[in-house]
Structure 1
């Protein structure tokens, strides 16, 4: 691709061809005038005579025939395995007895070399969206986690030691099947759609009263950082379908939207946040008790908002997308 002021841009080619065809210049003289070789001048003059001004544009360098190109039927099979079964290029190559390089080239050509934009359930392309300013939409949801027994859970100490710790934890109950019940921690989470700034609280239930209280505190928390919440998106959980939630949204002047039933992808930003929450906080290290894990949440949230780079916003930190945070520019 030539730069705009080069001699043989489409405009320069047109001038060269017109000198030869329309004005009758000798090819050698025109070539010297435009500082190109005479075969080049002759080629553009011939093309101008045959096609006119439209022939002065660049042509694709793609060959007319590609005898070694992967057959269409094979390409469709590769795409099907990638979409429906989410196989890697090596796995697809093994299944179809093809070179992995060929499979990867097909996936790149079909823009399927990355799986991040393909829905894991339906195999269809994910429709992404992002609101244009902080507070335009916040996502809310509840992440349910099993409480950790004193001494640590089975993920880090093993099944046998984990069961011993469960039975030895004070305040536990037993079900009719003699299983030790430790209860659950309900992490009420709020994520701003534009900035990905997150707010979270841990409670022992997911009732409407608790969800409403979390919403009010979250709206106030965002207001302290210069963000006015306009809309809230939730799933169809009972606490979000309650009259208390409806009245709280009206009192806060927040428009409430719910996702389509059985379609968690609509609330995908907070679902992805829950995955990060689980991997980097809830199950990231050995906690000696549930109290220790809950005490670690505020520190992790600060790291997530202020220091952890977020790939979906250009590897910036979420808090950097809030422009009115007090003291941000001091």
Structure 2
């Protein structure tokens, strides 16, 4: 995968190739895309030699790993974990391996946490995700009280902030999260009416397309009226060629990825610091989203940011 500040995703590399093939000088295209001429020439050479396949990241895994634990021993480690629920400190002496080696093997096979396993069978049941970008997008709305000029109760104290809190109204943060990549997009609106939700979905799809997710197949939402009955929402889905899915009633866990994103949204943006105005908080959203998508380590992606899954659709990291 590219380093976290890399200028080009796979989508950006295709854009580079298209612009150069249209007859423009490589140096000009490189300058406008913020990369060096050497980098631009490298991707052009790969594309000419290998076609579109050459624009994808190459694995940094070494061709041979002579000191890696044998496959049959790794299988024995996994079997002891599934059948007897043993940890590294107990599996190690049984197989004559250091506990640290056993832990790496369990982590590689995603068996390092017993909470992820079905106790009777040892099958991994905790984590689930779609196989490819765009297969399922989670959508939800988070309601936040607006901040008066000069600050609310977090800045002035609860008693001083209480007088203006009820008269300020609410912001509605509409968010969409791709199930496979965890790439996220959010907008702030004054309501959650059907037309607002439909327009948001259209812009979210355009955002995903800009980042290489060219098609959205399904959209998962809760049972709000706008999603169940709204004609404009259904028309937006039809324009995208996507199918709408609703969660079970009173089961927000079904839409868990965007619900968890909402919590991160609150912790790392909305309540990160005392804002002195509603506009100040609104303007900080763009920086948060860029950090979340391009730089913030995501535990479900083995410590990589969501944008890395665009370059590495199979989700395999080295």
Q: Same fold (TM over 0.5)?
A: yes
State TM-score, norm by structure 2: 0.58
Of 187, 198, 201, which residue of structure 1 is paired with 2:173?
187
- Residues 219 and 245 in structure 2, CA contact (< 8 A), matched pair in contact too: yes
Q: Match of 2:161?
A: 162
Q: 2:197 aligns with which of 211, 214, 223?
A: 211
Q: Give the Cα separation in 2 of the matches to 1:250 and 1:280.
A: 34
CA distance in structure 1 between the partners assigned to 2:155 and 2:114 by the alignment: 33
Q: Deviations over 1:174-233 (max 9, x none)?
A: xxxxx8421100000000001101000000000010000000011111112221211111
**Paired residue for 1:170?**
none
- Tell me how far 1:155 sits from its aligned partner: 2.6
Task: Provide, for residues 236-290 of structure 1, a one-character-per-residue CA deviation record: whole Å limited to 9, x for no partner.
Answer: 1111111221122112101111111110000000000000000000001010011
Report the structure number with the largest CA radius of gyration: 1
* Alpha-carbon displacement from aligned partner over 1:54-108 (angstroms, at most 9, x marks no partner): xxxxxx9xxxxxxxxxxxxxxxxxxxxxxxxxxxxxxxxxxxxxxxxxxxxxxxx
Q: How big is the alpha-carbon RMSD for the aligned residues of Structure 1 and Structure 2?
A: 2.9
Contact 2:116–2:127 (Cα < 8 Å) also in 1: no
Partner of 2:130: 131
User: Tell me, what secondary structure is at the counterpart of 2:311?
Assistant: coil
Q: What are the equivalent positions in structure 2 for 1:1-330 lying under 5 Å apart?
A: 127-163=126-162, 166=164, 180-227=166-213, 228-241=215-228, 242-323=230-311
- Higher relative contact order, chain-length normalized (CA < 8 Å, sep 6+): 2
Cα separation, partners in 2 of 1:152 and 1:231, compared to 1, 3 Å: same
Match for residue 69 of structure 1? none
Q: Distance in 1 between matches of 2:290 and 2:238?
A: 30
- The TM-score with structure 1 as length reference comes to 0.56
Gaps of 5+ in 2: 1-68, 74-79, 81-110, 119-123, 314-318
Could you list the runs of 4 or more consecutive aligned residues of structure 1 that deviate by over 3 angstroms after TM superposition? 113-118, 125-128
Farther off after superposition, 235-244 or 135-144: 235-244
Greater helix fraction, Structure 1 or Structure 2? 2
Aligned to 1:108: none
